[in-house]
């Protein structure tokens, strides 16, 4: 028995295990080794591959031994994969003594169709759909004749849509994907999805059917009442069913003029407004063979350019959880108020009992209650109302094409046991009162189906709740694209929000595929408009938002976000792909800033939603927006230099490094100069320190002290918005003011992170005071209860409070450097790095600090614990202890700070 474990988690690119329809001809491979002797370091690896050619059915096999210590995103060692090729690999690794590990289990993937392999046409309903406000979502279908002998056959369904689609084969839904094909600039890039439908098919007669809906493509979406037909006037389905029989023959059925169409039972289907399903209008058996579609209409074929078809990089949206209501309160006949205990994105599944035909059960959603009722003003023009109309029998139903952001729901019109109710759901005939039995209603949590990769714990339950809130805001807003919020009439891919949140997100979930995919969209929109719009995909921005505005913090997603993802994953391919986008952004802003390198012209959002800004003017922050813009320019130029360096392009790296130095010097001259009042706000100081813009030595010391003083003077209330919040604790800690950083983090005085928790938050709010301290909702327009940006402090929890951070890309080297404080007696974090699980946990007991860690095989770590000289460790578990005196500076429950270290900190 060898001592090195067989590799596991063998993975292609960032795809799920067994992924179908991948786009890469040469997918990079990664693997993990769960355990190995202390002196193990990978000397070589061997990949045994088998490729079954889709074209011929023939299998080729081979293997490659590569002398390399790499195990993350290594180059594909086999032959190029063509369309439909299925690949299976096994991996083993060699120890320094020459001994080989056992082989890993097989990992598989399958390439999708290339643009030239599509024979399908984009087909849509062939009848007059009527006015868009009242048109019914269409159904499409066709009969499919297959050979009599399907023994040993395999079947793939490749599908995409203009609009949203859900496909059924022989009456059974295909896959679990929701909101397919998600949201991209459809005319530039339309993603296709591949399903294994072998089990759905039977010899001879079959049928295939599709539900279609408006979705982002042509439904009402966006600002000021929204825009219809953003991408076109016609929805359509593009589907190609390929059945390969044992003898290698391929039977292909595509969307073409043989399909039939009819209005379906969804009389309303809108992402913002919700959905109405009228069960009376459902044609029984419509997606099964033998259904009589004589009264249906021929479909219409829409012109379509197959060259825009592409495979997704990330996972689709799926239901990842079900939440049962924690309380159900009857509020009237057949009416109930449900609390799911957790703000989230999703929709309800109802098990509606038998009722008289025409009974309407209605569901409304809200994030918060006011005076015991749903509070919906903050949804603005998103009706978020779903309805099901009974056909008489009991039915189980959930919306197909809508999603809401909510914690509470009101269900009305619920039938009593006599089952009679008026069609409005309000007038009811006598019978036993309606009750909502357990299981009748659950909420289906929907978001991109990413793997969880990060966890945090601490001795303070409020801090743990804050961290949970960050996780839930991530889950609620990673819905195919990274959105600002899941509930109101926005739900857009705001670039600034994800720019500040990406490091946190990359720790908590495997967001790489999804964000890499969205960064392609950023690139597409940037080319279209000549700059990085404030949200992508771009849609009409109403009277205010323009796609050609150059906005710092937001546009910096082009440079900073790919690099943050690279830091977490070591994916140089992503950096390479986004390089022209990142360079174009930096070059453009350098140009805008002009020869003095200070970006002090044009409209800026600055430190958006700084708590001092009035509710009606979230841009009116304390910090000069051009200071924020210039600080971010310095940061982006420096990040671009590092990007070029990581790609081995030294000349460009040196050029941007020089420019970064020049912008830094310009920033110093304009803003840091001895007593510039602009550099006196919390955000200004925090940005200057965190981005390395304040000269080392005395100026840095002074700026740190001034920042700490501001934080103390504010009574440990937060004074930062989207720009300052992600860096304020870091800037304090890095300049020797850890106690102030903890005091701010753990303060319960509003505005603060824990004041949100005290007011019952279960997600991170858009603004510090989305709910005012008296429990009423902030009257401002920007009042979402589920925005992740201010949750970016969780990155500091992971890196500094727990002490787990990458020291080199992909965590190949780790920095384990917890900085206990704030009266916490323990904390810790775990992260599934590309190499496997890394963890660190510390506790203070009996005058001693003990730090325990685990470093995955393939990594080394630098351990830096207060009171102990830093040292290096290899993979495996370890621990170290040091004497510990709990600091005098203890944060009281009310957020004030007891005398001690804080009180004696220097004041300037």
Contact residues for ligand BGC, defined by CB under 6 A: 484-485, 490, 494, 496-497, 534, 605, 608, 782, 787
Least distance between ligand BGC and beta carbon 792 (Å): 12
C-alpha span between 835 and 823 (Å, rounded): 33
Beta strand 190-191 pairing with 309-310? parallel
Least distance between ligand BGC and beta carbon 797 (Å): 22
Least distance between ligand BGC and beta carbon 722 (Å): 7
Cβ pair 347, 752 in contact under 8 A: no
Residues near 441 by Cβ (< 8 Å), separated by ≥ 6?
325, 328, 338, 348, 349, 350, 351, 409, 411
Cβ pair 275, 386 in contact under 8 A: yes
Distance of CA 101 to CAs 45, 875, 898, Å? 9, 17, 57
Query: Is 519 or 534 the residue whose CB approaches ligand BGC more closely?
Result: 534
Q: What are phi and psi of 779, to 5 degrees?
A: -70, -10
Cβ pair 380, 489 in contact under 8 A: yes
Query: Is 20 or 609 the residue whose CB approaches ligand BGC more closely?
Result: 609
Radius of gyration for the chain, computed over Cα atoms and rounded to the nearest angstrom: 29
Query: Is 48 or 756 the residue whose CB approaches ligand BGC more closely?
Result: 756
Structure tokens at 146: 């297959």
Query: Is 223 or 811 the residue whose CB approaches ligand BGC more closely?
Result: 223
Query: Is 410 or 490 the residue whose CB approaches ligand BGC more closely?
Result: 490
Query: For 588, which DSSP code?
Result: H
Residues near 53 by Cβ (< 8 Å), separated by ≥ 6?
59, 60, 82, 84, 85
Least distance between ligand BGC and beta carbon 533 (Å): 11
Least distance between ligand BGC and beta carbon 555 (Å): 12
User: Which of 558, 589, 587, 590 is CA-nearest to residue 575?
Assistant: 558
* Catalytic hit among 110, 242, 398, 766: 766
C-alpha span between 641 and 159 (Å, rounded): 41
Write the DSSP string, 679-725: GGSHHHHHHHHHTT-SPTTHHHHHHHHHHHHHHHHTTS-----TTTH
Residue 836 CB burial class (10 angstroms; 0-12, 13-18, ≥19):
buried
Query: Is 77 or 721 the residue whose CB approaches ligand BGC more closely?
Result: 721
Least distance between ligand BGC and beta carbon 222 (Å): 11
Residues near 133 by Cβ (< 8 Å), separated by ≥ 6?
none
Q: Determine the longest span between alpha carbons in the chain, in angstroms.
A: 87
Helix 557-569 with 625-646: angle, nearest 10 deg? 40
Q: What are phi and psi of 478, to 5 degrees?
A: -100, 70
Least distance between ligand BGC and beta carbon 789 (Å): 6
Q: What are phi and psi of 817, to 5 degrees?
A: -140, 70
Residue 657 host element (H or E): helix 650-667
- Give the torsion sign (CA, 507, 510, 511, 513): positive
Structure tokens at 167: 């496909």
C-alpha span between 403 and 511 (Å, rounded): 20
For residue 441, list its beta bridge partners: 350
C-alpha span between 508 and 790 (Å, rounded): 15
Least distance between ligand BGC and beta carbon 609 (Å): 8
Least distance between ligand BGC and beta carbon 682 (Å): 19
Which residue reads 């990673």 in tokens?
478
Query: Is 534 or 727 the residue whose CB approaches ligand BGC more closely?
Result: 534
Query: Is 781 or 899 the residue whose CB approaches ligand BGC more closely?
Result: 781
Query: Is 494 or 667 the residue whose CB approaches ligand BGC more closely?
Result: 494
> Is 576 annotated as catalytic?
no
Cβ pair 512, 478 in contact under 8 A: no
Query: Is 391 or 782 the residue whose CB approaches ligand BGC more closely?
Result: 782
Least distance between ligand BGC and beta carbon 760 (Å): 22
Cβ pair 672, 679 in contact under 8 A: yes
User: Which of 509, 472, 210, 518 is CA-nearest to residue 341?
Assistant: 472
Beta strand 172-173 pairing with 164-169? antiparallel
Least distance between ligand BGC and beta carbon 413 (Å): 33
Cβ pair 603, 551 in contact under 8 A: yes
Query: Is 191 or 787 the residue whose CB approaches ligand BGC more closely?
Result: 787
Least distance between ligand BGC and beta carbon 398 (Å): 27
Cβ pair 113, 240 in contact under 8 A: yes
Peptide bond into 751 cis (omega under 30): yes
> Is 766 annotated as catalytic?
yes
Query: Is 242 or 490 the residue whose CB approaches ligand BGC more closely?
Result: 490
* Catalytic hit among 13, 242, 490, 740: 490
Within a 10 A sphere around the Cβ of 423, how many other Cβ atoms? 14
Active-site residue numbers?
490, 766
């Amino acid at each position: 028995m060898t001592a090195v474990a067989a590799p596991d988690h063998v993975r292609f690119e960032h795809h799920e295990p067994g992924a179908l329809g991948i786009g890469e001809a040469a997918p990079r491979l990664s693997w993990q080794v769960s355990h190995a002797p202390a002196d193990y370091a990978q000397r070589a690896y061997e990949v045994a591959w088998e490729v079954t050619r889709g074209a011929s059915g023939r299998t080729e096999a081979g293997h490659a031994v590569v002398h390399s210590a790499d195990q993350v995103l290594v180059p594909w060692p086999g032959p190029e994969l063509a369309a439909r090729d299925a690949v299976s690999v096994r991996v083993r690794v060699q120890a320094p003594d020459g001994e080989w590990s056992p082989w890993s289990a097989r990992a598989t993937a399958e390439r999708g169709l290339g643009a030239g392999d599509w024979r399908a046409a984009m087909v849509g309903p062939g009848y007059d759909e009527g006015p868009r406000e009242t048109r019914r979502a269409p159904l499409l279908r066709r009969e499919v004749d297959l050979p009599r002998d399907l023994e040993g056959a395999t079947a793939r369904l490749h599908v995409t849509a203009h609009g949203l689609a859900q496909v059924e084969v022989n009456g059974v839904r295909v896959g679990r994907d929701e909101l397919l094909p998600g949201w991209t600039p459809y005319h530039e890039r339309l993603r296709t999805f591949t399903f294994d439908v072998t089990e759905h098919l039977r010899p001879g007669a079959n049928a295939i059917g599709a539900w279609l809906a408006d979705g982002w493509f042509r439904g009402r979406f966006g600002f000021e009442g929204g825009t219809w037909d953003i991408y076109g006037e016609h929805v359509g389905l593009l589907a190609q069913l390929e059945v390969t029989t044992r003898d290698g023959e391929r039977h292909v059925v595509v969307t073409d003029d043989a399909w039939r169409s009819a209005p379906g039972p969804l009389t309303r289907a809108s992402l913002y407004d919700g959905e109405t399903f009228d069960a009376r209008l459902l044609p029984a058996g419509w997606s099964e063979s033998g259904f009589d579609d004589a009264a249906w209409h021929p479909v219409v074929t829409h012109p379509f350019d197959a060259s825009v078809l592409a495979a997704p990089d990330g996972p689709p949206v799926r239901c990842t959880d079900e939440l049962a209501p924690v309380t159900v309160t009857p509020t009237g006949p057949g009416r109930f108020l449900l609390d799911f205990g957790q703000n989230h994105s999703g929709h309800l599944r109802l098990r509606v009992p038998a009722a008289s035909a025409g009974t309407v059960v209605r569901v409304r959603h809200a994030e918060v209650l006011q005076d015991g009722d749903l509070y919906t003003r903050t949804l603005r023009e998103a009706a978020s109302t779903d309805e099901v109309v009974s056909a008489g029998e009991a039915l189980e139903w959930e919306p197909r094409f809508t999603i809401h952001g909510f914690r509470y729901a009101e269900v009305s019109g619920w039938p009593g046991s006599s089952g009679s109710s008026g069609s409005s759901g309000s007038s009811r005939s006598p019978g036993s009162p309606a009750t909502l039995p357990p299981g009748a209603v659950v909420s289906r949590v929907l978001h991109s189906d990413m793997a969880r990769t990060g966890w945090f714990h601490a001795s303070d339950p409020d801090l743990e709740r804050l961290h949970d809130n960050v996780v839930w805001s991530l889950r609620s807003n990673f819905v195919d694209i990274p959105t600002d919020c899941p509930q109101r009439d926005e739900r857009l891919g705001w670039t600034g929000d994800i720019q500040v949140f990406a490091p946190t997100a990359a720790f908590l979930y495997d967001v790489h595929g999804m964000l890499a995919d969205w960064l392609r969209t950023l690139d597409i929109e940037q080319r279209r408009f000549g700059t990085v719009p404030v949200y992508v995909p771009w849609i009409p921005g109403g009277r205010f938002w323009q796609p050609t505005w150059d906005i710092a913090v937001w546009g910096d997603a082009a440079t900073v976000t790919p690099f943050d993802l690279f830091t977490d994953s070591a994916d140089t391919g992503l950096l390479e792909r986004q390089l022209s986008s990142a360079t174009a952004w930096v070059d453009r802003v350098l140009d805008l800033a002009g020869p003095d390198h200070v970006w002090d012209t044009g409209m800026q959002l600055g430190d958006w939603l700084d708590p001092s800004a009035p509710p009606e003017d979230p841009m009116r922050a304390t910090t000069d927006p051009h200071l924020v813009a210039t600080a971010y320019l310095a940061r982006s130029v420096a990040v671009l230099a590092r990007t070029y360096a990581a790609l081995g392009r030294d000349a460009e790296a040196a050029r941007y490094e020089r420019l970064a130095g020049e912008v830094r010097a310009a920033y110093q001259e304009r803003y840091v100069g001895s007593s510039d009042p602009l550099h006196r706000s919390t955000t200004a100081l925090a940005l200057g320190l965190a981005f390395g813009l304040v000269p080392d030595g005395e100026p840095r010391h002074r700026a740190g002290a001034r920042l700490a003083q501001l934080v103390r003077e504010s009574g440990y209330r937060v004074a930062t918005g989207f720009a300052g919040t992600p860096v304020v604790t870091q800037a304090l800690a890095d300049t020797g003011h850890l106690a102030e950083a903890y005091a701010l983090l753990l303060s319960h005085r509003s505005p603060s992170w824990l004041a949100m928790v005290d007011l019952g938050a279960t997600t991170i709010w858009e603004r510090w005071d989305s709910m005012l301290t008296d429990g009423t909702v902030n009257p401002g327009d920007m009042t979402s209860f589920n925005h992740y940006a201010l949750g970016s402090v969780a990155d500091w929890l992971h890196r500094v409070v727990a002490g787990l951070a990458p020291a080199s890309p992909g965590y190949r080297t780790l920095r384990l450097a917890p900085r206990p404080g704030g009266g916490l007696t323990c904390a810790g974090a775990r992260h599934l790095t590309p190499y496997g699980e890394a963890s660190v946990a510390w506790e203070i007991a009996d005058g001693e600090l003990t730090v325990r860690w685990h470093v995955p095989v393939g990594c080394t770590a630098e351990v830096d614990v207060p009171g102990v000289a830093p040292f290096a460790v290899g993979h495996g578990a370890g621990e170290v202890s040091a004497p510990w005196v709990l600091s005098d500076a203890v944060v009281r429950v009310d957020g004030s700070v007891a005398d001690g270290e804080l009180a004696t900190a220097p004041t300037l």
